Amino acid sequence: MPDGSSNTAGRTVLTYGTFDLFHIGHLRLIERLAAMGDRLIVGVSTDEFNAGKGKRSVVSYDDRAAIVAAIKGVDLVVPEESWDQKRKDVVAHEVDVLVMGDDWTGKFDDLKDVCEVTYLPRTAGVSSTEIKQLLSALDPRHLEEMSQAVSTLTNLLEHYRDLT
Active site residues: 53, 55
Q: What is the distance between the alpha carbons of residues 162 and 164, in angstroms, rounded to a whole number?
A: 6
Q: Which helix (H) or strand (E) holds 100?
A: strand 97-101
Phi, psi of 37 (to 5 degrees): -165, -170
Sign of the dihedral through C-alpha 124, 127, 133, 134: positive
Q: Is 30 exposed, middle or buried, given 0-12, 13-18 or 19+ CB atoms closer than 10 A?
A: buried
Q: What is the distance between the alpha carbons of residues 6 and 126, in angstroms, rounded to a whole number?
A: 28
120, 16 contact by CB (below 8 A): no
Instruction: State the first-to-last Cα distance of the chain, in angstroms, to the nearest integer.
Output: 73
